[in-house]
Amino acid sequence: MDYPAAIWAGLIGGAAMTAVLYMGIFVMPGQMKMNLLYILGSMMFGERTIAYMSGAMMHATMSVAFALAHVGLYQAFGLEANLAAWGLVFGAAHWAMTGMALGMMPAMHPRIKDGTLAAPGPFAMGYPMGTAIGFLVLHLIFGVLVGALYETFI
């Protein structure tokens, strides 16, 4: 495994995923309701600026961890080519795992527990349908980018 290539692929894929998410929120505010960086950061901090900053750091860390998992699966299955296509498959699996985790957010998120933040629900189904579809598309984008970038960097 080329760790620097996997790390960079994860950071770039995660940054692209975040950029597309916030463009969606800007363009379709009635449909895109998942303010990811705030949701992550507000688990620890109530102040918005610090919550966004910590949420960005958490998402970058998770992006690297998931990219390492994607690359580990490429290695485990002996995949050396067409990694963007395989990234689509692994992005779908990544979506399934994180979608289930969203359903557990109310049990661990203090802002959801106190009612100041809406629960996303499993697979972001607690938000408008555009958010749930966007949640899937963003994970597919991440998978494709990690696969393509890793294959380019190695």
pLDDT tens readout for residues 118-141: 999 999 999 999 999 999 999 999
Residue range 58-87, pLDDT digits in tens: 999 999 999 999 999 999 999 999 999 999
Residue 100: its pLDDT value, please? 96
Rounded-to-integer distance, Cα 88 and Cα 146, Å: 9
For residue 16, name the pLDDT band (cuts at 50, 70, 90): very high
Look up the pTM and report it.
Answer: 0.93
Rounded-to-integer distance, Cα 57 and Cα 45, Å: 13
Three-class DSSP category at 81: coil
User: Average pLDDT over the chain, rounded to whole?
Assistant: 96
